A and B are shown apart, each in its own frame.
Chain A
């Protein structure tokens, strides 16, 4: 795929606009680089920065983050007075003013356009159109370069999108509403699709860029799925044990082990969250969970176990699958001579234990038992619900991460509409629950040879869920 990308001539887009409209945020979101400086103070970007996206070292697309317009009216006045070859208007402007501090920012921001970059003009949709904006749009029109306008909705309180759209229609080939605070993968691809339409010449190369971005996304989902599966497998098979002496207080040791067990499971989960976060390139800033997130509740809290996982009814059926599966194997081994007796028996036992587990799910669902009278062990967790709680939390976290744009630096700015009030697992089909049940059995046994398909099957399930969420 990457072989097809022309390394010489790659699409380049200069992101232009008035100061403090969110140009850096847009670039940050487009390139998924949360290290791009984004400031609340206007005019922080003084020099253009060229961000080149590379695949395997081959350059595929460039975005230039530019300073905001500082002298739009004066620049427009010069443009209007310019007599000469229209194609050289930008070169001429830069030649004339590159030593003049008054026009320093304009020279800086128009330079990439002069060397052939397409224009992405960014405005803040939460403020009205003003004369300076009209001047800027007119300058861009006079450059004659392909251009697209982006209405960046920075806040939700005010919305002047209609007004902007009306104005943009006079100056731009393509218009797009894009919230750099909440833009997700789909929005990014949508924006690249729009870029395709502003100049036919770029259609092919941008299609390849979109393909590269899509492949990259798929890769991340595969890796995220592997991280989640690995962490869940580890959590489900995890146990702690301690040797008991004659003087040991069993209750105290049990409580200590319980604490240690919970701490370790939390650590495994936290590590997995960190891996997902860095996969989606939220490196620089510690990701604060949205205020409404279920993940604020502790993994072992009553609330978590109430709101996530399967319903009791589903759990009973799922438990039947775990037991039932075992029964089916016995039946198969006995060449069907038991007429499914084992299946039924296994099913009943499984359902019973799952229901009991469901009732005590928020409490002490771990098991402590002695081995040879001198060792106390807590875990692996016998409760199937535990798996569903872990899946739900992983999927919720993933959902938070992919809906957090790289340009967003504020706490609690995520889109509250994406809230996962209920666990995702409650919507699992019977087949999906069967895959989970097989994984549960396999992960608890943790054999590397037996039930070989259970883990890849589960991983595929997680991947499909991630795709769906994404």
Chain B
């Protein structure tokens, strides 16, 4: 869908404000909420529209998307749940909330009225006092012309010159322009004066509004460089409004004076002695209106000009009243055509230029792009739930046939067992894991560290059903006091394995001590297990929990 909506400066300020709120809410939960909210807004939008031909369906463009988002956020801001923005529950006070854009817009409107009033009043009062005539000396047309017609024309020319310079700089790529006089003035007015007015205005407002007023003020100040281009035309609109109002006020004063009092206008000059030359100049000046206004009103004729010339040494008594009053229509037309109308045209042009500038506002900037991506892309999230299947979790010892539950007793048993060195030991190991070399090292360790004599060494499968026969026959033929089972330390002490050890101890080697010796994997650098090895600690805990003092754990050390 194309964007035909009119963008206003206040919308851009509000957009900035609401995006800032999101950017400052960057904790994980908030971020996810924001992404879900933006996607939700997108999902609720009617994304298709009809193009200008009225036939083809078109998709909503990014700009429209952003504005739809803004509309929604504004709505939520005023009427949404209490947790929006500040997190406070303040739904009953929503009506008192004002977005910074709205604050700015109302202040801008106030400024427009102030400019109109100030311009109009100053023009009126200045012209009124200027036109004070007491019958002794006619109003000097030359001075009046300079102040109320020529000066506005010069200011107008200056404005056009500034615009021309800006245009050329823009075209030639001399884009900076931060230090130009106009930008200094704009910065001063919009980024210093206006924010301070906003702040001062805030003092008289309700507490709730102050945050936003502060924001509008700081936004204007901190983003002055970014937003300067958008404030360029409003500045000129303001100054033109003042000028137009000034001229209109002056015109009103002249008409009022003419209507209610006796006026006399005359001219004098030391340089210009010929009335014909002045008439020529006046004819040129009155060209904009002389073609449609009756000649008698458009400008004074040669005789009237001659008749209104003031020669101080001769006084004004000799001058005809008809000649002295013949100037006012010309002066009024001058103010209207050189003071009021050009400014009105300029204001309209500035308003159009401002609209164009706003239309050109770059919605492809990264921060807006992020919003668009957030809206257009599906939200991916991962949620989890736990639903235990087994009904036999809590409290029960998962191993059948526990012998002892007292850990202290188990500790004592470990100490006791170490007091019987030199007794005969039977070594059981997995045949697929421990080769001759590894067994040699282990046997050495058993002899030197545990002080046991290794008798038989047998290979087992760690599966009681499978090993039962071998184990029973071993128990019968080997009078070993200690049964040593070799175990790789990294293998977790799973329940099945622990159960196997308990079965060995309780079903086959009932009166013998069972030693679980932990080693590293044979074939690797060393078989020794470090005291701080995490897996060793896990095994220690698991064997201790068996609660059987005759099942002991040792690690192979260097």
Contact = CB atoms under 8 A, between A and B. Distances in A.
Contact of A51 (B369, B384, B398): B384
B430 interface: yes
Given A42-B492, A99-B392, A226-B369, A448 B361 contact: yes
A371 to B, nearest CB: 8
B43 A446 contact: no
B383 interface: yes
A107 B390 contact: yes
A158 B383 CA distance: 35
Given A99-B391, A278-B28, A450-B175, A68 B364 contact: no
B392 A330 contact: no
Contacts of A371: 179
A158 B524 contact: yes
A455 B368 CA distance: 12
A108 B398 CA distance: 14
Interface string A309-327: 0000000000000000110
B494 interface: yes
The 8 A-B residue pairs with the shortest CB-CB distance, nearest first, are A329-B173, A230-B366, A42-B492, A71-B496, A104-B390, A70-B495, A219-B377, A111-B389
Interface string B353-375: 00001001110111101100110
6 contacts: A1-B378, A43-B494, A71-B494, A222-B369, A278-B28, A446-B226
A464 to B, nearest CB: 15
Interface stretch (B1-9, B324-332, B412-420, B457-465): B457-465
A412 B495 CA distance: 34
Interface stretch (A127-135, A170-178, A357-365, A387-395): A127-135
B26 A19 contact: no
Interface in B179-233: 179, 225-230
A180 interface: no
A275 B366 CA distance: 13
Interface string A38-67: 001111001111111111110000000000
A450 B170 contact: yes
A269 interface: no
Interface in A212-231: 212-213, 215-216, 219, 222-223, 225-227, 229-230
Interface in B382-419: 382-393, 396-400
Contacts of B524: 158
Contact of B492 (A18, A53, A55): A18
Contacts of B367: 226, 230
A20 interface: yes
A55 B379 contact: yes
Interface residues of A, number: 88
A102 B492 contact: no
B26 A274 contact: yes
Given A68-B494, A222-B369, A278-B28, A127 B521 contact: yes
A452 interface: yes
Given A101-B396, A227-B370, A456-B364, A53 B389 contact: no
B499 interface: yes
A227 B173 contact: no
Contacts of A104: 390, 392-393, 398
Nearest to A59: B383
Given A98-B392, A223-B374, A448-B227, 5 more contacts: A47-B387, A53-B380, A101-B396, A104-B392, A222-B369
A94 B383 contact: no
A140 B177 CA distance: 74
B491 interface: yes
Interface of A: 1-2, 18-20, 31-33, 36, 40-43, 46-57, 68-74, 77, 94, 97-105, 107-108, 111, 127-128, 130-132, 158, 212-213, 215-216, 219, 222-223, 225-227, 229-230, 233, 237, 274-275, 278, 283, 325-326, 329-330, 333, 371, 441, 445-452, 455-456, 459
Given A50-B387, A101-B396, A222-B373, A131 B378 contact: no
Contacts of A441: 175
Given A107-B389, A131-B461, A132-B496, A448 B362 contact: yes
A140 to B, nearest CB: 16
Contacts of A74: 496, 499
Contacts of A49: 384-386
A219 B42 CA distance: 15
A32 B380 CA distance: 10
A330 B172 contact: yes
Interface string B421-436: 0000000001011000
Contacts of A130: 430, 432-433, 488, 491
B225 A101 contact: no
B534 A452 contact: no
- Residue of B28, B364, B389, B400 with most partner-chain A CB within 10 A: B389
Interface string B471-494: 000000000000000001011101
B389 A229 contact: no
A19 B172 contact: no
A215 B227 CA distance: 34
Contacts of A450: 170, 175, 229
B46 to A, nearest CB: 17
B388 A447 contact: no
A445 B226 CA distance: 9
Given A49-B384, A99-B392, A131-B461, A40 B534 contact: yes
Given A111-B389, A330-B173, A459-B369, A131 B462 contact: yes
B88 interface: no
Nearest to A32: B382
- Residue of B380, B465, B490 with most partner-chain A CB within 10 A: B380
B50 interface: no
Contact of B365 (A33, A278, A448): A448
Nearest to A450: B175
- Residue of B26, B430, B491, B494 with most partner-chain A CB within 10 A: B494
Contact of B172 (A77, A225, A325, A329): A329
Contacts of A216: 377-378, 380
A89 to B, nearest CB: 16
Given A233-B366, A455-B366, A70 B26 contact: no
Contacts of B490: 127
Contacts of A51: 382-384
A94 B369 contact: no
Contacts of A127: 490, 521
Interface string B223-247: 0011111100000000000000000
Contact of B378 (A47, A56, A445): A56
Contacts of A42: 492, 535, 538
A223 B494 CA distance: 46
Nearest to A60: B380
A101 B392 contact: yes
Nearest to B168: A333
A54 B382 contact: yes
A317 to B, nearest CB: 20
B96 interface: no
A141 to B, nearest CB: 18
A56 B361 CA distance: 31
